[in-house]
Structure 1
Amino acid sequence: MNEKTAKKIARMTLGGTLFLAGLSHLTFARKDFRAQVPDWVPLEKDDTVVYSGIAEMALGGSLLLANDKNQELVGKVAATFFTAIFPGNISQYVNKRSAFGLDTDTKRLVRLFFQPALVYWALKSTDNV
């Protein structure tokens, strides 16, 4: 498999996963996502979950549909989004909020290390190099 094909598979996988995650914000996982919203966010927790779900669906769809010209920009926007929502993961850890099977401090701490991987995945799967 060549590098271009591998990147396309990685981009499509991330896009599909992100779209489904966004859909889950609006449906079956809505309550769990509320556990990740930091208390300092100036919106209602449910509204934050809905808005972030819509954003994830839009980003996921963009990753799936981006042409060669726009892929890199979409990847940078997705990486920025993953960075922007990281405080929610920190809040879940600091406030000991269980959701998504993250029911111990160790599990919540380990989860924090996956966010940089998502940032890297978004950038690497969409670069044109």
Structure 2
Amino acid sequence: MKTFARWLLAGGMVFAGLSHLFWARREFQAQVPDLVTDALPIDKDAVVVASGAVEIMLGAALVVLPKERRRIGAILAAFFVAVFPGNIAQATQKRAAFGLDSDGARIARLFFQPLLVCWALWSTRD
């Protein structure tokens, strides 16, 4: 069961990463907090591309580095925590993206991030 969950998570990460790079770049830009681009010399598109590349690498690593799965799971969980402020920014700034065009939908999405953290940790533990 854990192997299936880990592989499903890996596939989801690679898919999400590819969507960052290609068909959903504008959608993901709605999740980049203004604070990031105000504080750093980087634009929202570069943040989206970088996070997409990280997602692809983490997803692939879950599959191709089985001896490191526990460490990769912890890194992936930390990544999910690190991008959570983007979800908060989307909700508080009322940015519509990915069909999240109401306050209720944006708030409901916030509750899924802890589930991703748990999934990453659970599926990579012995």
SS of residue matched to 2:50: helix
**Structure 2 counterpart of 1:11:** 6
| Whole-angstrom distance in 1 between the partners of 2:4 and 2:106 | 29
Question: Alignment length, in residue pairs?
Answer: 122
Q: Structure 1 unaligned runs (5+)?
A: 1-5
**Structure 1 counterpart of 2:102:** 104
Q: Structure 2 unaligned runs (5+)?
A: none
| Whole-angstrom distance in 2 between the partners of 1:7 and 1:66 | 15
Tell me, yes or no, if the aligned pair for 1:19 and 1:60 is still in contact at 8 Å: yes
Higher helix share: 2
Aligned positions of 1:1-129 closer than 5 A: 6-41=1-36, 42=40, 43-67=42-66, 69-128=67-126
| Whole-angstrom distance in 1 between the partners of 2:65 and 2:96 | 35
TM-score (norm 2): 0.95
Displacement of 1:65 in angstroms is 1.6
* Matched AA of 2:11: G
Identity of matched residues, %: 52
Displacement of 1:66 in angstroms is 2.3
TM-score (norm 1): 0.93
| Whole-angstrom distance in 2 between the partners of 1:65 and 1:94 | 38
| Whole-angstrom distance in 2 between the partners of 1:106 and 1:34 | 20
